[in-house]
Chains A and B, each alone.
Chain A
Amino acid sequence: MSTATDRDDTATRGDSRPILEMHGIVKEFPGVRALDGVDLDVRPGEVHCLLGQNGAGKSTLIKVLSASYQPDEGTIRWDGEEVSLPTPVSAMKLGISTIYQELDLVPGLTVAENVFLGHELSRGGISQTATANSRTRALLERLGHPEISATRLVETLSPASQQIVSMARALSHETKLLVLDEPSAVLDGEEVENLFHVMEGLTAEGVAIVYISHRLEEIRRIGDRITVLKDGATVATGLPVSETPTSELIRLMTGRSIEYVFPDRTGRVDTSTDPVLKVEGLALGGTFSGVDLEVHAGEIVGLAGLVGAGRSEIVETVYGARRATAGTVTVDGKKLRRGSVSAAVAAGMGLCPEERKSQGLLLGEPISNNVTISSMGRFARWGFLRRGDEKSEAERLTEQLDVRPRGVTRPVGKLSGGNQQKVVLARWLLRGCRVLLLDEPTRGVDVGARSEIYALIRSLADEGVAVVVVSSEVEEVLGLADRVLVVREGRVVHESAATELDESRVLDLVMEGKVA
C-alpha cells in the first residue's frame, strides 16, 4: 500500500509488511470460548487500535500475544516467520512489551526495582542500584515524568503514576511492539495527551503499537488502523481510522446502532428542602481542605478535575474511609462520626470505589456474592442467608447492566475488566442508599453499557437518592450531573449548574494555574 514517497503521510504510515500477523487464534476457558478465530496484523510504526465491547476478548488476545496464555489454535508470525511463544520471556525477547489492563507492579518495591524486575542489573550477583536508578530516571524523563522519583515505593504513587512506571518497565526492554490495554482508563485528559506524545515519539522510531480503549475520540486522535472484535471473533480488520465513521464502529462492535446518550434531566430537583448530604469545611491534612458540598434528594453532583486533584480522597473521606482532619459530614441532619465507615453506612451512604480490584472485589468469590455483600441484611433472616433470593436479585441486576457472560455463579475474577466494573456498580445500585458516592463508575465500560448505567443512575436519583459522581471524563460529568464542582489541587475552585458549563470551560478551570 505505502511506498517510499508517502512515508510521511500519517494516514498510510507504516510499512506494508506487517511485523506481527496473528491468524485464526482460538482460546478457550472452561465454559467460555474467549477467542474464536481472531486475525490481527500490525505494521511497524503504526498505532493499531483494538475495539470491542466488554468481554469481546481484547485482553485475552493480547495475553496470547504476550504469551501469558497459550492459544488453543492459530498461528503467530513475527517479521514474516512463524513463531511459537512458550513463555512470556520469549515474547519479551522478540521485542513485545505489554502493559496490562490491571496494573501488575509490586507495591513494596521502589520504582526502579519495578522497572528492572525480572531483568535486574547486576554485576557478579551484586545488584547495581545506582545504574538502575539512573536508567530509570532517563526512562521517566523520556516519558515526560521526571518528577517521579526512581527510589520511591510504588505503593505510594497514584494510579496514573503507576501507569507511567509500567510504561517505563515496558520501554526498559528493546521494544518493537508495545501493547497498551486501556492505559487511558486511569489517566486524565492532560496525561492522556502526554501518553500520546510518548506514543508518537515511539512510532516515529518505528515501534508498532497496539492500543485498546473504549474512548472513540482517543482512537480518532491517535490511531492509524482499527481491528474490531465481537464475541471473540474479528468482525473487521485494518479499517483506516480516518475513513471509518463512528456510527459504523459502534454498529460493528455492538451489532446495533446506538447513540452515546445521557438520560434527560428531569429537572425536578427541589433545592428548597434541606440537603440530604451536607459537607462543611472538610479537610484531610495535606490533601485537600475547605470542601463544602451539598447534595439534595434527587440530585446528581459531579466532581470534575485532574487525577490527583483529590476527588477520590474527598469522597473517601466523606464516606469515613479516611479520617478527616477538620470539618463535618451530615446526612439527613445527622452528624457522622469522623473516620467511621460503619457510621456512614448506617446513615445510608454507599461508596463505589475507584480501584475495583484492590478496593472493590472478592476476586475468587462468585458474582452473586460480590453483588450482595453490602446488602446481605436484606437477604438474611436471623443471620441465615436466603440464597435463592440473593441469586435472583443478583441475576436481575447483572442482566440489567449487561454483565457478560450470563450467570452469577462464576468467580468475578474470571470476568473481563469492564464487566468486573459493572459488578461493583451493581452492588451499590442494589443496596438502596440515601447517598451514593460513585468514583469513576464507568471506568473501562463499553459504549453500549454506559448509556444503560447512566440511565440507572438517573433513575436512582429520580427515586430520591442523592448522588455524587467523580469522573475524569469531562463529557460524562457534564452529561450526567445536575451540578458540577471543579476540584483543583485539593480545593473546590468552581461550582455551577452543568448546563452552564461546556467542556473547554471545565478544562480551563481544571488546568488554571498550571503551566501549560
Chain B
Amino acid sequence: MSSPGVTESQDAEQPARAAGPEQPHESTRRTGGGDLSTRALSLLQTGVGRNAGLVVALLLLCVVGAFTAGDRFASTDNALTILRLAATIGVVSIGMTFVITGGGIDLSVGAILALSSVWCTTLATQVIAEDTHWIVMAGVALLVGIGCGLVNGVLISYGRVVPFIATLAMLASARGLAEIISLRRTQIVTVPGFRDFFTARLLGVEVQVWLFALVAVIGWVVLNRTTFGRRTIAVGGNPEAARLAGINVRRHTVLLYVLVGVCCAIAALMLVARTTTGSSTHGTLYELDAIAAVVIGGTLLSGGRGTIVGTVFGVLIFTTLTNVFTLNNRSISEQSLLKGAIIVVAVLLQQRLANRKSSE
C-alpha cells in the first residue's frame, strides 16, 4: 500500500478517532499517498490527537504561567531556561522509555549520572583533557555509563536478578563510588572549550537543547522504525513469545540497559557543562522524575508499548510546572504534592486503557 519511503508515524496507523487518545489503536485509517504537505499535516494531526491530553495539559500550564507570572514567564529567555532544564532530564527519560518499553526499569539513572560526572572531572581526566581535547572527558563519561549499564544488564538478564533490585543496588553503589572518587568534594571544570561547546548557541538555542532534540529524534526513529525498536516492544510485551520467535531476549535486555547508561552519560556531560562542576550529588532523584515523565507520557509501565513523543511532553510538562512554581515563589513541597497528583491521574488513565486492551 504505502511505499517504503513514506514516513508515517506509528501513530498514523493507529490514529485518533473521535474518542481521541483513549482508543489509540482501534481504527485502521491509512494516510498513504498524498503530497508532502498533506502528509505532514496528517502526521501532525494524528500525533497531536494521540497526545491531545498532554498537549492540553502543557498549554494549560503555559496559560497559568502567563497569568500568574506575566512577562517573567512569557519571554524567550524563560522559554530557553525551561528547555535547558528539560534537556538533561529529557535525555535520561528517553533512555528510560526504552527500558520500560522493554519490560524493565532502571532506578540507577541518577547515580550513574553522578558517577559519570565525577569520573569525567577528576584531576587526572582533566589533565589529560587539557593536554589533548575536552572530548576525552566525554569519552570517560560514556565509558562509565556503558560500564554501569552493562553491569545492570548482565545482572538482570544472565544473573536473573529482578530489574528493580539490580538497579537499586547500582543506585546505592554508583553514588557511593562517586563519593569515594570525589571525596565528596565538588570538582570544578577547568578544561577550556568543554563548557563553551555545550552552552554555545546555535540559531539562538543552546547546543545542549539541540542535543536533547537529537537524542529524542534518534530515539523515536530507533523505537518506531528499526528492528531494535520492534524487538524492544516484543521483549517487553511478551518475552516468551519473543524468545520463541527467535529474538535473543537476554542480549537485547543487556543492550537496553547499556542504552540507558549512554543516555545518563550524555546527560551527565550536559549537567557538568551547565554547572561547571562534577559532583556526587548530581542527578539526585532523577530516577523518579524520569520514570514519572515516561509514565505520564503514556508508556506502559508493564512494558510492550512506548512513546517517545509522550515522554518528551512528559518532561516538558514537569519542567514547565517547576518553572511556574519557582516564578511564583511557591515551595518545593507544593511542587512535589502536585507532581504526585499528576502521576496518579496519569496512571489511572493508563490503567483504564490497559483494561480495555486486555478485555478480549
Listed residue (A361, A363, A366, A387) with the most chain B CB atoms within 10 angstroms of its CB: A387
A385 and B1 within 8 A (CB): no
**Contact (Cβ within 8 A) B1 A388:** yes
Contact present for B246 and A31 (CB under 8 Å): no
Q: Are A411 and B25 in contact (CB under 8 A)?
A: yes
User: Is there contact, CB below 8 Å, between B234 and A373?
Assistant: yes
A494 touches B (CB below 8 Å):
no
Set of chain A residues within 8 Å of B13, measured between Cβ atoms: 366, 409
A206 is an interface residue with CB less than 8 A from chain B: no
A365 interface residue, CB < 8 Å from B? yes
**Stretch of B58-66, B79-87, B235-243 with 4 or more beta carbons under 8 angstroms from chain A:** B235-243
With A351-B244, A380-B226, A385-B227 already in contact, the answer to whether A362 and B233 are too (CB < 8 A) is yes
Chain A residues with Cβ below 8 Å from B279 are none
Q: Is A31 touching B26 in the complex (CB atoms < 8 A)?
A: yes
B339 at the A interface (CB under 8 A): no
A359 CB–B CB distance under 8 Å: yes
> Does A389 count as interface, using CB distance less than 8 angstroms?
yes
Q: How far is the CA of A413 from the CA of B238 in the complex (A)?
A: 13
A358-407 contacts to B (CB < 8 Å): 358-366, 369, 373-374, 376-377, 380, 383-389, 391-392, 395, 407
Which of A353, A369, A407 touches B28 (beta carbons < 8 Å)? A407
In Å, the complex CA distance between A362 and B227 comes to 15
Asked if A389 contacts B4 (CB within 8 A), the reply is yes
What's the Cα separation between A361 and B233 when bound, in Å? 12
Q: Cβ of B195 < 8 Å from any Cβ of A?
A: no
> A389, A391, A395, A409: which contacts B14 (Cβ < 8 A)?
A409
Q: Are A385's CB and B230's CB within 8 A?
A: yes
Q: Are A384 and B3 in contact (CB under 8 A)?
A: no
Q: Which residues, 194 to 240 on B, are CB-close (under 8 Å) to A?
A: 225-228, 230-231, 233-234, 237-238, 240
Min Cβ gap B358→A in Å is 8
Q: Which of B3, B30, B238, B247 contacts A363 (CB 8 A)?
A: B238
- Tell me which of B1, B27, B226, B245 contacts A374 (CB under 8 A): B245
A341 to chain B, nearest CB (A): 6
A215 located at the interface, meaning its Cβ lies under 8 Å from any Cβ of chain B in the complex: no
Neighbouring A residues of B6 by C-beta, 8 Å: 388
B39 within 8 Å of A by Cβ?
no
Are A387's CB and B244's CB within 8 A?
no
**Among B25, B234, B242, which residue has the most Cβ atoms of chain A within 10 A?**
B25
* Bound form: Cα–Cα A411–B24 in Å: 11
Question: Inside 8 A of A387's CB, which chain B residues have their CB?
Answer: 2, 4, 225
Using Cβ atoms and an 8 Å threshold, which residues of chain B touch A129? none
Chain A contacts for B17, CB-based, 8 A: 30
For residue B30, give the distance in angstroms from its CB to the closest CB of chain A: 8
Chain A contacts for B314, CB-based, 8 A: none
| Interface hits, A419-444 → B, CB 8 Å | 427
Instruction: List A residues 30-47 near B (Cβ within 8 Å).
Output: 30-31
**Cβ of A383: which chain B residues have Cβ within 8 Å of it?**
226-228
Q: How far is the CA of A383 from the CA of B227 in the complex (A)?
A: 5
B227 contact set on A, CB distance < 8 A: 376-377, 380, 383, 385
Q: Mark B164-207, 1 if CB is under 8 A from A, else 0.
A: 00000000000000000000000000000000000000000000
Q: Is A131 an interface residue (CB 8 A)?
A: no
Q: Report the nearest B residue to A321, measured CB to CB.
A: B244
The one of B14, B25, B27, B234 that contacts A362, using a Cβ cutoff of 8 Å: B234
> Does B47 belong to the interface (CB within 8 Å)?
no
Query: Would you call A384 and B26 a contact (CB within 8 A)?
Result: no
Range, interface on chain B: 35 or more
Pairwise interchain contact B244-A410, C-beta atoms closer than 8 A: no
B298 to chain A minimum Cβ distance, whole angstroms, is 13
Q: Is the interface of B mostly helix, strand, loop or mixed?
A: loop
Residues of B82-99 contacting chain A, CB below 8 A: none
Chain B residues whose C-beta falls within 8 Å of the C-beta of A366 in the assembled complex: 13-14, 25
Q: What residues of A have a CB within 8 angstroms of the CB of B358 in the complex?
A: 363, 413
* Neighbouring B residues of A29 by C-beta, 8 Å: 26
- B1–A365 touching, CB < 8 Å: no
Give chain B residues whose Cβ lies under 8 Å from the Cβ of A395.
Answer: 1
Q: Interface centre among B27, B231, B244, B245, by most A CB within 10 Å?
A: B245
Q: How far is the CB of A402 from chain B (nearest CB, A)?
A: 18
- Check if A414 is an interface residue, CB within 8 A of chain B: yes
Pick the contact of A321 from B3, B25, B243 — CB < 8 Å? B243
Q: Which of A341, A353, A374, A386 contacts B4 (CB 8 A)?
A: A386
How far does the alpha carbon of A268 sit from the alpha carbon of B242 in the complex, in Å? 36
Chain B residue nearest in CB terms to A389 = B4
Considering the chains assembled together, what is the distance between the CA atoms of A376 and B28 in angstroms?
22
Chain B residues in 8 Å Cβ range of A360: 241, 244-245
A369-B238 Cα distance, complex, nearest whole Å = 13
* CB of B118, distance to nearest CB on chain A (Å): 34
Q: Could you tell me the distance in whole angstroms from the C-beta of A368 to the nearest C-beta in chain B? A: 9
**Is A391 a contact of B244 with CB atoms below 8 Å?**
no
**Judging by beta carbons under 8 Å apart, are B244 and A384 in contact?**
no
Tell whether B42 is near chain A: CB-to-CB under 8 Å: no
For B26, what are the chain A residues with a Cβ–Cβ distance below 8 Å? 29-31
Decide: A385 and B244 in contact? CB cutoff 8 A. no
Say yes or no for A345: interface residue by CB 8 A criterion. Answer: yes
Query: Are A388 and B304 also in contact (CB < 8 A) when A359-B241, A360-B241, A362-B233 are?
Result: no
Which residues of B lie under 8 Å from residue A351 when comparing CB positions? 244
Smallest Cβ-Cβ distance to A352: which chain B residue: B244
Question: For B247, what are the chain A residues with a Cβ–Cβ distance below 8 Å?
Answer: 373
B305 to A, closest residue via Cβ: A364
Residues of A within 8 A of B243 (CB): 321, 341
Residue with the greatest number of chain A CB neighbours at <10 A, chosen from B227, B244, B305, B357: B244
Which residues of A are found within 8 Å of B246, using beta-carbon distances? 341-342, 345, 350, 374
B245–A373 touching, CB < 8 Å? yes
Query: Residues of A contacting B3 with CB < 8 Å?
Result: 388
Q: Given A30-B23, A373-B230, answer yes or no on A341-B2 (Cβ-Cβ < 8 Å).
A: no
A376 CA to B17 CA, complexed, in Å: 30
Contacts of B225 in A (CB 8 A): 384-385, 387
Which residues of chain A have C-beta atoms less than 8 A from B305's C-beta?
364
Write out the residue numbers on chain B whose beta carbons fall within 8 Å of the beta carbon of A380: 226-227
CA distance A89 to B259 in the complex (A): 47
Asked whether B241 lies within 8 Å of A361 as measured between CB atoms, the reply is: yes
Q: Which residue of B lies closest to A405 (CB)?
A: B28
Indicate if B351 sits at the interface (CB-CB under 8 A): no
Cβ of B131 within 8 Å of any chain A Cβ, yes or no, is no
Would you call B28 and A410 a contact (CB within 8 A)?
A: yes
B275 contacts A by Cβ under 8 Å: no
Q: Are B237 and A365 in contact (CB under 8 A)?
A: yes
Report the separation of the CA atoms of residues A369 and B13 in the bound assembly, to the nearest whole angstrom: 12
Interchain CB contact under 8 A, B233 and A365: yes
Distance, CA A280 to CA B281, complexed state (A): 60
Contact at A413–B2, with CB atoms within 8 Å? no
Q: What B residues does A319 contact at CB under 8 A?
A: 244
The answer to whether A358 and B233 have CB atoms under 8 Å apart is: no
Interface flag for B35 (CB, 8 Å):
no
A-B contact pairs, 11 of them (CB 8 A): A68-B359, A341-B244, A351-B244, A362-B241, A363-B358, A363-B360, A364-B237, A373-B247, A383-B228, A388-B5, A413-B357
Measuring CB to CB, which residues of chain A are less than 8 angstroms from any residue of chain B? Answer: 29-31, 68, 319, 321, 341-342, 345, 350-351, 353, 358-366, 369, 373-374, 376-377, 380, 383-389, 391-392, 395, 407, 409-411, 413-414, 427
Seed contacts A360-B244, A364-B25, A387-B225; 10 additional CB < 8 Å A-B pairs: A350-B246, A359-B241, A360-B245, A362-B241, A364-B357, A373-B230, A385-B225, A388-B1, A391-B1, A395-B1
Closest 5 CB pairs of A and B: A345-B246, A30-B26, A386-B4, A388-B4, A362-B237
